[in-house]
Structure 1
């Protein structure tokens, strides 16, 4: 591809050997019909199955497919960062490979951005009936809390399926952000944006690469990376604990003055357990912020690129500073 593509599609991939052929069969006709120069940048996030071999076979039959391979598994958001840093298109779309986000919406995103002069077009899930009740419930709670803590500009039910202009991509890649959460970073930029709604589909094949543990990690990164509110919560919990202890002390003193026998071990045990849990919670919240500071001071790259099929000479490349 000698010319600069009009559109780049960034696709983080991790152990997706089953769904990759289905993804290619569905997205390639959509992109070909757009009649604009494009590239599909598949970022292999240290896959341990046959994903690298499948990508290589696909690349031989699909000239617009470009494969970037990371040396180790760095996480979905860091793989997305690697793709954004290397995407060359005037517009960049990020989409997951599982086909839960329909590729057919990409054309609508591009037309909306070009017609209205938008830098960001969010893909918003209008219908999530394909997700489990637990997933819908936790997602709804996450977005409600995020909008309250971070700001109402965060679109509800908007994940990492979005279109970015070159201006937005350059702004994002210029941020010295560790452990980025793009569903919050992108609205934070304050660029002209729009929305395209769609129905979320079931995963086409394979298993989800976002289990409960990674969902909790994403939520923690969202709150600790964008707000000091959790620290203030710890402060208010400490104040509430002090008030409660003072009330218990006053009740114990009043019982003593009235000659009522107060069972000692129960009240002591409850107070110790309550205060101990409160202290551990506050220390845990504080530790999350300290860990972010520690990671930043280490200065290690969030990802390391092992190979890029668009570069003739394979070389290591340190990602985010």
Structure 2
């Protein structure tokens, strides 16, 4: 059986179109399947659409969160409730083409791969600034972390049960799925496709949201920022020693006091700024530790049409 996990946040317009298209593709494949629709605290009629689809289609299982927990929590809830031998993650806006599913399943059934992941080979329709920052992010995180993330990688992938179980074993609260997919390893085939425009509705990601998501990914999978803070400290200490020697030698040999308070203020501001920057980096890691130690649930399901669904995890 194939389980399709679909995180949804304000997707009342796109969800019926997605259900129609993915159902057509899955029925043509001739495999048994389930559609796990996860309502991530939507403020529109997404939940009503899910209820209607569940009444009309026995393959539809919906989980509705008590509030908005974020896409990562929605994906994790889907993994916890997926019952298929193969599990896929897809967006409801049809930017992840359901037509790729037969090819993905065919590749997995060869036995050569454990996961078939998708990557966009073009960013048509995306703002140039966002595309540039996205490419720089992928280059940076691959250099400073153990996560293997391909440029243009999407969350859309089809996995064997063994890989899903490995992902579930990583129960960390601060989740960055793109990094988790790469960290667990397994044999992955990257399937390229052209960028597809959203079929309906508005994107939920703005530039600031994507920037914070990128920072979370770097902190979750790399200790490099802490190393940078340490090297800043070592560098500034070395520069301070040189400055002290210069001032002492100048005073002893030439009897020339150091003139000007402006340069002194500039140095104080520079050092103070670097100290605050380094403290900010350390603070981000401490905040992540703080959230982990609370052991709060990743999600809380307020409503579902599956009686044995995992409601809190």
Q: Shorter-chain TM-score: which interval?
A: over 0.9
Q: What's the offset of the Cα at 1:316?
A: 7.7
Post-superposition offset of 1:243: 2.9
Residue matched to 1:26: 21
Matching residue within 74, 82, 94 for 1:79:
74
Q: Does 2:293 align with 1:297?
A: yes
Separation in structure 2 between the aligned mates of residue 260 and residue 17 of structure 1, nearest angstrom: 75
Other-structure match for 2:92: 97
Secondary structure at 2:181 match in 1? helix
Gaps of 5+ in 1: 1-5
CA contact (8 A) 1:108 1:196 kept: no
Q: Is residue 310 from structure 1 mapped to residue 306 from structure 2 by the alignment? A: yes
1:279 alignment counterpart: 275
Q: Contact 1:125/1:158 (CA < 8 Å) preserved in 2?
A: yes
Distance 1:212 1:130 in 2: 15
- Which is worse superposed, 82-91 or 158-167? 158-167
Q: Distance in 2 between matches of 1:201 and 1:245?
A: 54
Question: Hey, what's the Cα distance between the residues in 2 that align with 1:99 and 1:255?
Answer: 70
Q: Which runs of 5+ in 2 are unaligned?
A: none
Q: Which runs of 4+ in 1 moved over 6 A?
A: none
The Cα of 1:280 is off from its aligned counterpart by 1.2
Give a deviation string over 1:24-70, Cα, whole Å, max 9, x none.
23222112111100111110001111111122222223321211111
Give distance in 2, aligned partners of 1:152 and 1:220: 14
Give, in angstroms, the shift of residue 248 of structure 1: 4.0
Distance 1:153 1:255 in 2: 53
Cα shift at 1:180: 1.3
CA RMSD of aligned residues (A): 2.0
Asked if the contact 2:147/2:179 (under 8 Å) is kept, the reply is no
Contact 2:147-2:180 within 8 A present in 1 as well: no
Aligned counterparts of 1:21 and 1:258: Cα–Cα separation in 2: 83
How many residues are aligned here? Answer: 312
For 1:59-74, what aligned pairs fall within 5 Å after superposition? 59-74=54-69
TM-score normalized by the length of structure 2: 0.92
Q: What's the counterpart of residue 130 of structure 2? A: 135
User: Is 248-257 or 181-190 further displaced after alignment?
Assistant: 248-257
- The 3-state SS of whatever aligns with 1:317 is coil
- Alignment-derived partner of residue 180 in structure 1: 175
TM-score, reference length from structure 1: 0.90
Identify the range of structure 1 (96-105 vs 256-265) with the bigger mean alpha-carbon deviation: 256-265
Query: Offset at 1:182?
Result: 1.3
- Give the deviation of 1:236 after TM superposition: 0.9
Q: Could you tell me how far apart the structure 2 residues matched to 1:318 and 1:176 are?
A: 13
C-alpha distance 248-123 of structure 1, shift in aligned 2 (>3 A) = same
What corresponds to 1:203 in structure 2? 198
Please say if 1:15 is aligned against 2:10: yes
Aligned residue for 2:230, secondary structure, equals helix
User: Quick one: structure 1 residues 60 and 236, their matched pair in 2 at CA, closer, same or farther if it must change by over 3 Å?
Assistant: same
Residues 1:43 and 2:20 aligned together? no
Select between 235-244 and 45-54 the one with higher mean Cα deviation.
235-244
CA separation of 1:104 and 1:238: change in aligned 2, threshold 3 A: same
Deviates more, 1:198-207 or 1:74-83: 198-207
